[in-house]
Amino acid sequence: MSADIREELYRKYNSTYKVHISDFDTKSISKMWKWFDHKYLPLVLAYPKDSAILELGCGRGYMLEYLRNHGFNNLKGVDISEEQIIIAKQKEIDVEVADVIEYLKKGKEKFKVIIALDFIEHFKKEELIQLFEGIYNKLQEEGLFILHTPNGQGIFSSNLIYGDLTHLTIFTPNSAQQILRAVRFNEIAFYEAGPVSKNFNGFIRLFIWKIIKFGYNCIRLVETGSMEKILTQNFIAIAKK
């Protein structure tokens, strides 16, 4: 048996895990993309459509397909799961199987935007400096790094944190900022990854979430004298080079 459990689990990551926990029907993908409209699209629209964009841990390629649908035409994706890369290639997207840390070391190509969704939590703490330095060095000047990861301080995040055996390091906004600043990122911002008011149901969910968040912060205020801004089960961070 491999000393690193990830090697064995990634070999059949799609067939033994992803297909059993996620919905990939047209309705589910459309719902995800509408959420992207609110959370990610405004971030990348600041850049020209021919900007070089790299997705780390691209999986089945849904983010890259989404960006292509919005006119971006210089897209690249890498993932260690061959099963998922096979699916992404069926979308005629430029993707390849690669160990990300090794991929970031090779070649001279740099990117204007690097995206890592549900990705950084899959690395050991001992690997983080090398990973984040590789990301920083692979960005062009004024380039943007976008990440989405389980939130260690989220109210309902336990199912995500412990729901995948390949999750090895769990972040909060504070610890994410710590590693980002350690590799020289300095323009950093954090956002909740919760409901959006894309329709009436979304508006109601967002309203109720704000009530839940307020109640939770009242308890925190009594105990610690402080409140938290980012309490969703995931959070989004952006960092500019």
pLDDT tens digit sequence for 126-149: 999 999 999 999 999 999 999 999
* Per-residue pLDDT, 109: 94
Res 71: pLDDT: 98
Rounded to 5°, angle at Cα 178 from 157 and 221: 55
Q: 111: helix, coil or strand?
A: strand
Give 28-55 pLDDT, tens digit per residue.
Answer: 999 999 999 999 999 999 999 999 999 9
φ/ψ region of 118 (left if φ > 0, alpha if ψ in -120 to 50, else beta) reads left
On whether the CB atoms of residues 80 and 10 are closer than 8 A, the answer is yes
- Report residue 81: phi and psi, to 5°: -85, 105
Phi, psi of 238 (to 5 degrees): -125, 140
Q: pTM for the complete prediction? A: 0.95
Q: How many CB atoms lie within 10 A of CB 60?
A: 25
Q: Are 185 and 240 in contact (CB under 8 A)?
A: yes
Alpha helices in the chain (DSSP H): 5-11, 13, 19-21, 26-39, 41-44, 62-69, 82-89, 100-105, 125-138, 158-161, 173-182, 200-224
pLDDT above 60 for 2? no
Residues in Cβ contact with 91 at an 8 Å cutoff, skipping those fewer than 6 apart: 61, 64, 65
- Domain chopping of the chain, boundaries: 5-199+231-240
pLDDT band at 198 (very low <50, low <70, confident <90, very high): confident
120 phi and psi angles, rounded to 5 deg: -65, -20
Cα–Cα distance measured from residue 32 to residue 29, given in angstroms and rounded to the nearest whole number: 5
CB 37 within 8 A of CB 70: no
pLDDT band with cut points at 50, 70 and 90 for residue 107: confident
Q: How confident is the model at residue 3 (pLDDT cuts 50, 70, 90)?
A: confident
Q: Which CATH superfamily is domain 5-199+231-240 in?
A: Vaccinia Virus protein VP39 (3.40.50.150)
